[in-house]
Chain A
Amino acid sequence: GENVEQHPSTLSVQEGDSAVIKCTYSDSASNYFPWYKQELGKGPQLIIDIRSNVGEKKDQRIAVTLNKTAKHFSLHITETQPEDSAVYFCAASGTSYGKLTFGQGTILTVHP
Chain B
Amino acid sequence: NAGVTQTPKFQVLKTGQSMTLQCAQDMNHEYMSWYRQDPGMGLRLIHYSVGAGITDQGEVPNGYNVSRSTTEDFPLRLLSAAPSQTSVYFCASRGPGTSGLGQFFGPGTRLTVL
**A1-B59, A44-B90, A104-B42 are known contacts. Are A99 and B48 too (CB-CB below 8 A)?**
yes
Query: Is there an interface contact between A102 and B43, defined as CB atoms closer than 8 Å?
Result: yes
- Report A-chain residues with C-beta under 8 Å of the C-beta of B104: 46
Q: Determine the distance from Cα of A103 to Cα of B102 in the docked complex, in whole angstroms.
A: 16
Q: Does B58 contact A (CB under 8 A)?
A: yes
Asked if residues A44 and B94 are in contact (CB atoms below 8 Å), the reply is no
Measured CB to CB, the nearest residue on chain B to A1 is B59
Q: Which of A4, A6, A104 has the most CB of B within 10 A?
A: A104
- Interface magnitude class on chain A: 20 to 34
Check B107 against A43 for contact (C-beta < 8 Å). yes
Closest Cβ–Cβ distance, residue A102 to chain B (whole Å)? 4
- Residues of B near A36 (CB, < 8 A) are 105
| Set of chain A residues within 8 Å of B44, measured between Cβ atoms | 102
| A100 interfacial by beta-carbon distance below 8 Å | yes
Query: CB-CB < 8 A to B114: which residues of A?
Result: none
Distance in angstroms from B8 CB to nearest chain A CB is 14
